[in-house]
Amino acid sequence: MGRRRKAREETLRILYRLEFDNREPEEILRQYWKSRKIDRETRDYSTWLTKGITSHQEEIDSLIQSASEHWRLPRMAVIDRNVLRMAVYELLIEKDIAPAIVINEAIEIARKYSGDESAVFVNGILDAVRKNLEKTKKGLKEKKDDKKEKHRV
């Protein structure tokens, strides 16, 4: 198993704890890493993911909710919801990893921790999020290009 996969699985465990523990994420992270023997690179990526997800959770949840027509976030299985959060954060922020890889990793983690039906569910939501993000990026690029063209005239 690669380090990023291991980091994602560790992040899923941390996010799961955060669902049921009202303490600050920093405190949960500190306690969690005390009990784990993980290489520094894996721990750093997992910590980066966890902090990013918790600090951008409202935006991430909004993207997930807009892509899931018939499912409200609180009704989603805890594992599925957090796999989605993790992948959406990577789709938003991680520029060095292709969206297809992010989505595939999320599908595999969902399958491992939640089952085949969850993998299908996660795939559908993430594909819709990816398409929405591409439309938004394309729209922003077109607006930027229009502004450049107006300034030339």
Torsion angles phi and psi, residue 144, rounded to 5: -65, -45
Q: What is the mean pLDDT of the chain?
A: 90
Do 79 and 94 lie in a common domain? yes
Domain limits at 48?
1-55
* DSSP3 helix / strand / coil % (the chain, rounded to 5): 85, 0, 15
pTM (predicted TM-score): 0.88
User: pLDDT, tens digit, for every residue of 42-53?
Assistant: 999 999 999 999
Residue 142, pLDDT > 60, answer no
Do 37 and 87 lie in a common domain? no
Q: How many domains does the chain have?
A: 2
Q: What is the CATH number of the domain that holds 107?
A: 1.10.940.10
Do 62 and 49 lie in a common domain? no
| Three-state secondary structure call for residue 95 | coil
User: pLDDT, tens digit, for every residue of 82-135?
Assistant: 999 999 999 999 989 999 999 999 999 999 999 999 999 999 999 999 999 988
